[in-house]
Amino acid sequence: MYVALEGIDTAGKSTQIARLRHTFPAAVITKEPGGTAVGSKIRDIVLHHELQSSKAEFLLFLADRAEHMTRIIEPNLKKLIISDRSVVSGIAYALVKGDISRTALLHMNRFATGGIYPEKIFLLRLTEEALKYRLSQKKLDGIEARGIPYLLEIQEALVEAASVLDITLVTLDASQSIEVISHSIITNIKEYE
């Protein structure tokens, strides 16, 4: 089973991934972008403002996605794969930018993934108040520095992207306790193992 955790920055994906790693020690844990050596370099370029073209940014993410599929996802499809972000994020960020039509987005991502998508997405959803508080507690990266309205727009686009790709979406209130969120995700995964 291939599942992914989605959510805007500070929603708690990394915390939940760490807990899932402990609960499912045989699972393949990965992330997008950055799940491969190439992906780490791409992530670094995008997060540190080295690009002016949003199209170039999108194409770099597609390159990372294609490499990630070849090296990580495809060889492990018979195992439990848990990914921090996925094609859903890629499409959501591109939808918000509006540079590329929805049809082109779908075709390009289908090409990059070979049509392999997560079977289920766990969306950690934040309220505006919770997002403001969490961002105030840290140094902002390039994406977070784009502001609260931008991040909330991304959050809505994540829902839209999952729907467009026809991926099952499980929405979780990210303001709940870490334990409650973990329990929900773990229970849901175990039902399908």
Q: Which two structure tokens, joined as six digits, stand for 187? A: 């229970």
Write down the pLDDT at residue 43. Answer: 80
The CATH architecture annotation of domain 2-192 reads: 3-Layer(aba) Sandwich (3.40)
Mean pLDDT across 62-79: 95
Write down the pLDDT at residue 155. Answer: 94
Give the range among 34-43, 74-83, 166-175 with minimum mean pLDDT.
34-43
Would you say 144 and 151 are in contact if contact means Cβ atoms under 8 Å apart?
yes
Would you say 80 and 27 are in contact if contact means Cβ atoms under 8 Å apart?
yes
- Provide the mean pLDDT of the chain: 90
For the chain, which residues make up each domain, given as ranges?
Answer: 2-192
Mean pLDDT across 125-147: 75
Would you say 16 and 182 are in contact if contact means Cβ atoms under 8 Å apart?
yes
For residue 144, pLDDT over 70 is answered with no
Write down the pLDDT at residue 174. Answer: 95
For residue 13, pLDDT over 90 is answered with yes
Sheet of 168-173, strands arranged across: 28-31, 81-84, 2-6, 120-125, 168-173
Give the range among 42-46, 123-127, 141-145 with minimum mean pLDDT.
141-145
Instruction: Please give the model's pTM, rounded to 2 decimal places.
Output: 0.90
Q: Are strands 81-84 and 120-125 parallel, antiparallel or unpaired?
A: unpaired
